[in-house]
Amino acid sequence: GQNIDQPTEMTATEGAIVQINCTYQTSGFNGLFWYQQHAGEAPTFLSYNVLDGLEEKGRFSSFLSRSKGYSYLLLKELQMKDSASYLCAVIDSNYQLIWGAGTKLIIKP
Amino acid sequence: DAGVIQSPRHEVTEMGQEVTLRCKPISGHDYLFWYRQTMMRGLELLIYFNNNVPIDDSGMPEDRFSAKMPNASFSTLKIQPSEPRDSAVYFCASSWGSSGGSYNEQFFGPGTRLTVL
């Protein structure tokens, strides 16, 4: 079956760094997305990885290892506004988008 | 562009009633997705369209759910009859396609919060 695993919840301190992991087992792979979703709002796009390696975009970076079925989202210089859920999603070989359950990130002062 | 537009934003109805949710995608996008989100099940893809044609409706829970896209700028998701377990936030999202049949980042609408009593 298709499966995406993320930690349910993580807590970090303002100004620190946090890494949110995502592992996947899907029938094929055509790309991986990370989305951010604040409570009561719609998901918004953060990053897209299709090749191995690190993609950096400001305070956020996303890493992919296709051979390991693994990705992480790295958030630096955490701010209170980064408190949100972070969703990992994979496009499989049939171009179906498989979503993880999301990781709720709590930032403490 | 105004982004993806959904209506209504909130809907409260009684069990057995018909519910119609509406979506206007971003102009130029050729993919449209309908999602349902609950605390228990997370974000679930219900159906998606490419160039107004339904491509995958395997996520539609049962025959009570139906979706249409009569043109590139409008789609509806209908639940008839509605049941309390249909209570959720329903999101519409749109995207433009890339080569090979895949698609790019999805832009989500604000969602419709549906409560079925």
Q: Sorting pLDDT into bands at 50, 70 and 90, what band is B93?
A: very high
**B84 phi, psi to nearest 5 deg:** -55, -35
Measured in angstroms, the CA of B42 and the nearest CA of chain A are apart by 5
pLDDT tens, residue by residue, A35-58: 999 999 999 999 999 999 999 999
- pLDDT of res. B62: 85
The candidate with the shortest Cα–Cα distance to A72, out of A20, A37, A26, is A20
Backbone angles phi, psi at B54, to 5 degrees: -65, 125
Locate the chain A residue with the closest alpha carbon to B105: A45
Question: Mutate which of A6, A88, A95, A104 to test chain B, going by most B C-beta atoms within 10 A?
Answer: A95
Question: Are the Cβ atoms of A48 and B91 closer than 8 angstroms?
Answer: no
Are the Cβ atoms of A95 and B103 closer than 8 angstroms? Answer: yes
How confident is the model at residue B110, as a pLDDT? 96
Strands B88-95 and B112-116: antiparallel
CA distance A28 to chain B (A): 13
Q: Where are the beta strands (DSSP E) in chain B?
A: 5-7, 10-13, 19-24, 31-38, 42-50, 53-56, 65-71, 74-79, 88-95, 107-108, 112-116
Nearest CA-CA distance, residue A45 and chain B, Å: 6
pLDDT digits (tens, 9 = 90+) for B97-106: 865 556 788 9
Mean pLDDT of B91-112: 84
Question: Which residue type, as a one-letter code, is found at position B51?
Answer: N
pLDDT, tens digit, 9 for 90 and up, residues A78-94: 999 999 999 999 998 88
pLDDT of B104: 82
Chain B CB contacts of A100 under 8 Å are 42
